[in-house]
Amino acid sequence: MDEMDGLCVRGCTRCPALVESRSQIVNGTGPDDADLVFLGEAPGANEDSEGEPFVGRSGSVLDSALRDVGLARADVRITNCIRCRPAENRDPTKEELANCRGYLETELERVDPELVVTLGKVPSQHLLNRSVAVTKEAGTVEDVRIGERSFRVLISLHPAATLYDRSQEETFAEVIASAADVAGVGDSGSGQSNFGDF
Ligand code: URA
């Protein structure tokens, strides 16, 4: 893909509205051979100004859940379905998702993770290519064809869900623990899913 430099997109102008609303392209962060990749929807205002995914309040929730299983942000890769901030945090359009899809596929192919965790409805539906009831399906894992190959994908709530509804905190923590377990990273332990009890 011509506008890709390793795992980074440079100077893309495929989506005119996003070129207007972004101040920079927000590429994924973390190791280029991470076992665990987290996929969000799109950069928000904080991410747009700092040039890094999940650096606002949602990012703090994610960092804290990672810490609970012995992982640091630097141990995992974090990226988004689209790399430019949509105005007023609207959802990405189908066309914008499609325009950015090849970049994501190339990133996943090059990183070659054990597991991709979709954070919320938009990334879950984007990768699974079906309607997803995130609260019901959180913690489930399936093999999904993405580009030229298949990846294990685990559905998760968006970390912001815990900010709107405190009762989701435990679920989110368990999803992250399960993700670390499935990917074989962190200190969550046994290689068994933690999902038996909910
Ligand atoms: N929410 C997302 O989906 N992505 C980010 O990078 C930040 C918040």
Give the position, in ligand 1's atom list, of the atom nearest the Cα of 40: 3
Q: How confident is the model at residue 113 (pLDDT cuts 50, 70, 90)?
A: very high
- 153 membership: H or E segment, kind and range: strand 149-156
Tell me the per-residue pLDDT of 42-86, one tens digit each, with 9 for 90 and over: 999 999 999 999 999 999 999 999 999 999 999 999 999 999 999
| Residue 103 in contact with ligand 1 by CB distance below 6 A | no
| pLDDT level of residue 188 (50, 70, 90 thresholds) | low
Confidence band, pLDDT 50/70/90 cuts, at residue 3? confident
- Residue 188, both tokens: 């969550």
- Express each pLDDT in 121-140 by its tens digit: 999 999 999 999 999 999 99
Which residues neighbour 73 within 8 Å (Cβ) at sequence distance 6 or greater?
29, 30, 62, 63, 66
Whether residue 15 is predicted with pLDDT greater than 70 in this model: the reply is yes
Cα 25 to Cα 51: distance, rounded to the nearest angstrom: 7
Locate the domains of the chain by residue range.
Answer: 3-183
Confidence label for 195 from pLDDT (cuts 50, 70 and 90) = very low
Ligand 1 test: best mutation among 76, 80, 82, 121, most atoms within 8 Å of CB?
80
User: Which of 29, 58, 172, when mutated, tests ligand 1's pocket best, judged by the most ligand atoms within 8 Å of its CB?
Assistant: 58
pTM of the shown model: 0.94
CATH of the domain spanning 3-183:
3.40.470.10
Q: Identify the pLDDT of residue 2.
A: 54
Which atom of ligand 1 approaches the CA of 53 most closely? 6
Query: Which token pair is 140?
Result: 């489930």
Model confidence at 152, pLDDT cuts 50, 70, 90, reads: very high
Q: What is the mean pLDDT of the chain?
A: 94
Tokens of 42: 């799109």
